């Protein structure tokens, strides 16, 4: 029972990591029906930005070795600013890799590849600048306890505080995002654009601005996710793209473009990974992809998505 | 009594809450020019989709020359000799006009992967024959000079003609035309009428035509079926149908 | 001198194999399927060669070429069957969904090969026997494979089956309505691509001498995708050129890094920044030349220039309508 609970909690913890990542991913898809592969890169940049803003130094490799910003901000402030920076990066990516293709009415696959190119270029620029090494935030949560014990006794069930933070943040984010999309005027505009860009434009909605906004939001979400996940463990220039691939499984499982779906998908996959029996531990990494394959073959619209009907 | 060319029996198709085609039954005789008219959204194109196997019926049956084809898939239907054109032209945009027509010969030819690539056996001769037939059909439709032009670069009228040429390449016995007169001016529409009559005679075809332009249908068709909200509300020769009160009501306000 | 030729030999062979792998992506694409599954079949082919040459056959000295040919047959069969299964499963998928499914397929394959004893686990299989003494000699295998694959693809597009592929790519529904067995077309195209990638893997395993799960990587998928997208997705010459050029590019950049006059940061960029270049090229090609560099239109223009130069005709040069090739 204890083991079950621990595994469940671990699963939820990992799952919220995936969920947090997937939110930005699915937001862009919900508006534009394209997968923004650059999300993983923006996620990584957000983390690096936050790291730099906390005044930490960059290591021994890379062009900017031993670089050190003359600021030393509190983690949460750095996180906020880093996320804003990531948001701005999101807008830049939209302008460079998405807008020209959107204007031309290009195939979503082409847009996906274009964003992939941006992602590869970006993370490798990070490698060029900061080297391939791993970085860590250290114990920046200050006075907070490192972990919490539940149901004490001999073998307590343990959750790390960072995991609780990530879970809490992802829940807050999904609620906030859903509220924005469903209850605000801006959200209505976003939904209109998601339905049909041309009609939305004809209705006088500034679609370009709204699309920029969604990329900004997606970038901010990605930046927050990046910093928090970097906080929870260590990070390097590749960790965004690696999560990015798993993130695909998450958003397909939850339903492409479905915001609560991103959280559901993330939690399900996290828990599934956690419950892989110990003997098969090495196969853990295959879990998201097996799930992805099964979903695509059995129910491509995912758990919460609606089936697409094609008119002949 | 010989079987009808195409027989539709109690055909119904529902999409979620919408009943697009509702219990439609009729039989088309061989060699007939059979018109299908009705207001927008009456289910005409869905009917075609049902006949050609693109959409499976919710209930009801379909017969071709007496054989049950209710669950036949599109390419089986095509192989049986039922060809069609589409309301929104569906040509192979990046392929040339000639290549488009040559695809129509696909199910009547047999060269496979290796025999085709290596040009062995009958494959080379078959390829020549297909190309020849393609050119003939293009010439018939007045597109001989545009054989190598990409389908998407052809003017609208030529695209419509190309779709017909491609359908004819199938050596069909039944030809379904979905709004063949769309986008044509009155002169072209008159010419189309003559052309379709000649086509029927030269190729020994049974024609099913969906049309909005009622005068064209009245002048051309042997019999007409009228659909409204998925239901068959009238069936008969043009004069009878024109006077049917149900038809008049359905078309209230439309051109008569 | 021998050293130089040897290192250059590796590059040349890799270039030729790169072109083959580009074609392995081009073939399913002919039928409208963007499949990123090639690295999976490439890895499988390589494992077949690795396992057969280290465990099945017991050979001293140079590995006889006929055995490599046997490996070709086995790899082709295995990849063919697997591609058939994957292709069948992925039939209903298209566009993004198909691409995602093939990405997932490669990842699953990779994790499995990471864990199986047969495939050497994390370390992989090493000391794979070599049929040739020099790297350059591998061109005796890779060269004919490329030429055969290229010719096959060139011919394929001109005949019935290739036309059916194109019809399916353009409009599946219309193709089916015109009598094309769409299922058969898609699976055939998919299997062709998988088998070709597998054959390339067999050669590569011997050439590189070791083989591991790392050969089935997402990065490789992207590389092959780049070959086709940047090289040209509308003609078989595109992926061939893309494969040759883009495999050579990082080597060339690394050579340029040796120039004395370059500041260290620039040299460092040329040496390790090749993925930055890839990424930028990939994005730029999507935005600026989505059909790739080598297009049928370009080939047409070159043909016309060639004809004019050889003085055929003396016909007046009229503007021609855009022709399909």
Are C286 and A293 in contact (CB < 8 Å)? no
State the pLDDT at residue A146. 64
Q: Is the pLDDT of residue A38 over 70?
A: yes
The count of structural domains within chain C is 1
For C131-163, how does the pLDDT look when each residue is reduced to its tens digit (9 = 90+)? 888 888 999 999 999 999 999 999 999 999 999
Residues from chain C contacting residue B170 (CB–CB below 8 Å):
178-179
For A193-227, how does the pLDDT look when each residue is reduced to its tens digit (9 = 90+)? 887 878 888 888 888 888 999 999 999 999 998 98
CA atoms within 13 A on the CB side of B167: 27
For residues A90-96, average pLDDT: 93
Tokens describing residue B229: 């909200």
Which of C111, C225, C275 is closest, CB to CB, to A113? C225
C-alpha B162: how far from its chain's center? 13
Measured between alpha carbons, how far is B255 from B213 in angstroms, rounded to an integer? 8
Are A312 and B49 in contact (CB < 8 Å)? yes
Identify the top-confidence range among A197-206, B49-58, C117-126, C310-319: B49-58
Please report the domains of chain B, with CATH numbers, ordered by start residue. Answer: 1-81+172-256 (3.40.50.300), 94-169 (no CATH)
Residues from chain A contacting residue B55 (CB–CB below 8 Å):
312
CA atoms within 13 A on the CB side of B144: 7
Which of A117, A248, A293 is closest, CB to CB, to C286? A117
Determine, yes or no, domain membership for A308.
no
State the pLDDT at residue A139. 64
Q: Is the pLDDT of residue C323 over 60?
A: no
Domain containing C84: what range? 2-216
Residues from chain B contacting residue C167 (CB–CB below 8 Å):
92, 95, 103, 106
Top pLDDT among A228 and C13 is at C13
The residue of chain A nearest to residue B16, with distances taken between CA atoms, is A309
Q: Is the pLDDT of residue C325 over 50?
A: no
Are A117 and C104 in contact (CB < 8 Å)? no
The complex scores an ipTM of 0.91
Do strands B6-15 and B18-28 pair parallel, antiparallel, or not at all (unpaired)?
antiparallel
The count of structural domains within chain A is 1
For A106-129, how does the pLDDT look when each residue is reduced to its tens digit (9 = 90+)? 788 888 889 999 999 999 998 888
Q: Does C154 touch chain B (CB under 8 A)?
A: no
State the pLDDT at residue C314. 47
Q: Where are the alpha helices (DSSP H) in chain B?
A: 44-51, 74-79, 97-103, 113-118, 123-140, 156-168, 186-203, 214-220, 238-243, 245-250
Residues from chain B contacting residue A309 (CB–CB below 8 Å):
15
The residue of chain B nearest to residue C169, with distances taken between CA atoms, is B92
Closest by Cα among A165, A163, A162 to A173: A165
State the pLDDT at residue A53. 85
Residue tagged 């190729």 (tokens): B203
pLDDT bucket at C102, cuts 50 / 70 / 90: very high
Q: Specify the pTM.
A: 0.89
Top pLDDT among B181 and A148 is at B181
Measured between alpha carbons, how far is A245 from A41 in angstroms, rounded to an integer? 12
Tokens describing residue C232: 């040209």
Measured between alpha carbons, how far is C258 from C254 in angstroms, rounded to an integer? 7
Domain containing A269: what range? 2-298
Determine, yes or no, domain membership for A307.
no
* Mean pLDDT for all residues in chain A: 84
Identify the top-confidence range among B233-247, C28-42, C56-70, C250-264: C28-42
Residue tagged 């992939």 (tokens): A116
State the pLDDT at residue B111. 87
pLDDT bucket at B221, cuts 50 / 70 / 90: very high
State the pLDDT at residue C322. 47
Closest by Cα among A118, A123, A122, A121 to A97: A118
């Amino acid at each position: 029972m204890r083991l079950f609970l621990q595994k469940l909690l671990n699963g939820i913890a990992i799952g919220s990591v995936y969920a947090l990542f997937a939110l930005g991913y699915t937001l862009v898809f919900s508006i534009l029906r394209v997968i923004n592969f650059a999300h993983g890169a923006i996620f990584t940049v957000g983390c690096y930005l936050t790291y730099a803003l906390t005044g930490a130094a960059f290591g021994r490799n890379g062009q900017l070795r031993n670089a050190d910003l003359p600021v030393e901000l509190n983690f949460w402030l750095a996180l906020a600013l880093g996320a804003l920076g990531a948001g701005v990066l999101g807008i830049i990516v939209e302008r460079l890799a998405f807008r020209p293709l959107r204007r031309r009415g290009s195939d979503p696959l082409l847009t996906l590849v274009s964003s992939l190119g941006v992602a590869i270029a970006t993370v490798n620029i990070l490698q060029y600048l900061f080297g391939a090494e791993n970085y860590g935030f250290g114990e920046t949560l200050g006075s907070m306890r490192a972990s919490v014990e539940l149901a004490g006794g001999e073998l307590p069930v343990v959750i790390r505080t960072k995991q609780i933070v990530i879970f809490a943040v992802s829940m807050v984010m999904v609620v906030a995002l859903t509220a924005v999309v469903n209850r605000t005027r801006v959200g209505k505009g976003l939904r209109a654009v998601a339905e049909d860009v041309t009609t939305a434009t004809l209705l006088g909605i500034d679609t370009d601005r709204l699309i920029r906004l969604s990329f900004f939001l997606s970038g901010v979400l990605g930046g927050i996710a990046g910093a928090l996940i970097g906080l929870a463990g260590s990070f390097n220039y590749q960790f965004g793209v690696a999560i990015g691939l798993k993130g695909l499984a998450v958003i397909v499982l939850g339903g492409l473009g479905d915001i609560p779906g991103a959280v559901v998908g993330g939690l399900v996959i996290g828990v599934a990974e956690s419950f892989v029996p110990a003997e098969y531990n090495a196969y853990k990494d295959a879990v998201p992809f097996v799930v992805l394959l099964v979903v695509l073959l059995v129910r491509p619209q995912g758990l919460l998505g609606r089936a697409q009907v094609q008119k002949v | 009594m010989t079987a009808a060319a195409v027989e539709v029996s109690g055909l119904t198709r529902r999409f979620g809450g919408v009943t697009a085609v509702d219990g439609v039954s009729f039989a088309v005789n061989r060699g007939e020019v059979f018109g299908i008219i009705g207001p927008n959204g009456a289910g005409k194109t869905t009917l075609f989709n049902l006949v050609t196997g693109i959409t499976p019926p919710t209930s009801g049956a379909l017969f071709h020359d007496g054989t049950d084809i209710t669950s036949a898939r599109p390419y089986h239907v095509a192989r049986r000799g039922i060809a069609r054109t589409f309301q929104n032209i569906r040509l192979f945009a990046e392929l040339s006009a000639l290549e488009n027509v040559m695809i129509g010969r696909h199910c009547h030819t047999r060269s496979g992967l290796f025999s085709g690539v290596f040009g062995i056996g009958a494959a080379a001769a078959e390829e020549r024959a297909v190309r020849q037939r393609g050119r003939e059909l293009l010439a018939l439709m007045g597109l001989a000079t545009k054989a190598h032009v990409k389908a998407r670069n052809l003017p609208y009228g030529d695209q419509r003609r190309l779709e017909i040429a491609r359908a004819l390449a199938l050596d069909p016995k039944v030809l379904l035309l979905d709004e063949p007169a769309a986008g044509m001016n009155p002169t072209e529409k008159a010419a189309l009428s003559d052309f379709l009559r000649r086509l029927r005679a030269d190729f020994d075809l049974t024609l099913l035509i969906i049309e909005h332009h009622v005068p064209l249908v009245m002048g051309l068709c042997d019999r007409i079926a009228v659909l409204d909200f998925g239901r068959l509300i009238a069936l008969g020769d043009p004069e009878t149908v024109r006077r049917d009160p149900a038809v008049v009501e359905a078309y209230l306000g439309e051109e008569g | 001198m021998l050293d130089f030729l040897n290192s250059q030999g590796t590059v040349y062979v890799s270039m030729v194999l790169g072109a083959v792998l580009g074609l392995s992506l081009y073939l399913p694409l002919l039928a409208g399927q963007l499949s990123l599954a090639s690295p999976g079949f490439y890895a499988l082919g390589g494992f077949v060669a690795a396992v057969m040459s280290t465990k099945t056959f017991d050979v001293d000295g140079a590995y006889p070429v006929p055995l490599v040919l046997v490996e070709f047959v086995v790899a082709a069969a295995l990849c063919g069957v697997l591609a058939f299964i994957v292709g069948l499963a992925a039939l209903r998928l298209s566009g993004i969904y198909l691409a995602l499914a093939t990405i997932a397929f490669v990842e699953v394959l990779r994790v499995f090969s990471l864990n199986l004893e047969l495939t050497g686990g994390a370390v992989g299989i090493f000391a794979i026997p070599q049929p040739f003494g020099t790297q350059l000699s591998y061109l005796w295998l890779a060269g004919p494979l490329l030429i055969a694959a290229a010719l096959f693809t060139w011919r394929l597009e001109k005949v019935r089956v290739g036309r059916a592929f194109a019809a399916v790519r353009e409009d599946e529904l219309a193709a089916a309505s015109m009598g094309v067995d769409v299922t058969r077309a898609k699976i055939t195209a998919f299997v062709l691509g998988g088998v070709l990638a597998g054959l390339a893997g067999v050669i590569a395993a011997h050439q590189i001498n070791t083989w591991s799960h790392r050969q089935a990587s997402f990065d490789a998928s992207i590389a092959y995708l780049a070959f086709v997208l940047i090289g040209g997705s509308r003609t078989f010459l595109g992926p061939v050129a893309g494969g040759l050029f883009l495999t050579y590019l990082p080597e060339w950049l690394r050579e340029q890094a040796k120039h004395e006059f370059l500041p260290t940061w620039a040299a460092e960029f040329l040496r390790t920044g090749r993925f930055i270049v890839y990424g930028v090229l990939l994005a730029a090609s999507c935005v600026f030349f989505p059909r790739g560099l080598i297009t049928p239109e370009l080939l047409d223009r070159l043909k016309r220039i060639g004809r004019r130069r050889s003085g055929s005709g003396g016909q007046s040069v009229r503007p021609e309508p855009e022709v399909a090739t």
